[in-house]
Every structure is written in C-alpha cells, then in structure tokens.
Amino acid sequence: MTIPEQDAQRDWHFRQLKWALQALATAGSAQQALFPEQAVSADDLAFAFAHWATVIRDVYADDLPAGQMDALDAIETKLATMSRDGAEFDLELWTETALRSSDHWSEIRTLAANGLEAFGWSIDSARAAAADRGAAAVR
C-alpha cells in the first residue's frame, strides 16, 4: 500500500471512530435524526464504537496520546459493565426507551462527548457526519 493510500485509510478509520463517538454522544431522541431510514439499536451503537475503537487502538495506538486512549477506555469500561458479562447488566438497558432515558446511557453520552473533545472533534457535526455517510446504518 502506498503512503497516500495509507493516509486515506487512516483518515477513513478516524472518521468512522468520530462518527461512532458522535452517534453515542447524541444517542436518544436526537439519534433518530442520524438514521432517518433505519432505527438503530443500542446494540448497534455499542458495536460500532467497539469495532472502530478496536481498529484505532490496534493500528494507531502509537499515535494516540494518553488522553485519547483514556477516553476510549472509559467508554469501553462503561459499556462492558452494561453488557451481558458486566455487573450492571439488565436487558432493559438495551432498549430504545433506555437509550433515551437511562442514567447509564446518559453517562455514555457524556463519556462520548469527552472522547470527541479528547480527539478535538465537535459533537455538533454529527448530522453532517450522517449526511457524509449517506445516513447509512452503523456497521
């Protein structure tokens, strides 16, 4: 792979992480605006974040300052406590209602906003990011 191809791939990976963080930061009532063609579940949001955070960590860890790594770790830790193997698991946490109203998801939104800040990204551009993605579903 050439340097320009590597740079383009790196940019794309970081855009995907940015989008996943923006989606988590706006999860809840604003979330539907990001996906007008498809309802996206809490599972979809968590999976997208986990996937792109893993890609970034595995491929670009040497490029990430401690604050960025810490921000990713904080979200991963909170999602892990909410998941099936976590101490705070409750199937109700993974519903559309919980996504809008749960204290756990409120904390995820705060952690995601902190992550965006750590990377120097704006939460306000979430709708623009959805448009750039063609309002496609999280994958």
Domain total in the chain:
1
Containing domain of residue 109, as a range?
3-132
* pTM assigned to the model: 0.82
Tell me which of 129 and 79 has the higher pLDDT. 79
Sign of the torsion angle spanned by Cα atoms 77, 78, 80, 85:
positive
pLDDT band, very low/low/confident/very high, at 139 (cuts 50, 70, 90): very low
Specify the DSSP class assigned to residue 38: S
Residue 137 domain flag: no
In tens, the pLDDT along 78-106 reads 999 998 877 778 888 898 889 989 999 99
Instruction: Provide the 3-class DSSP secondary structure of residue 138.
Output: coil
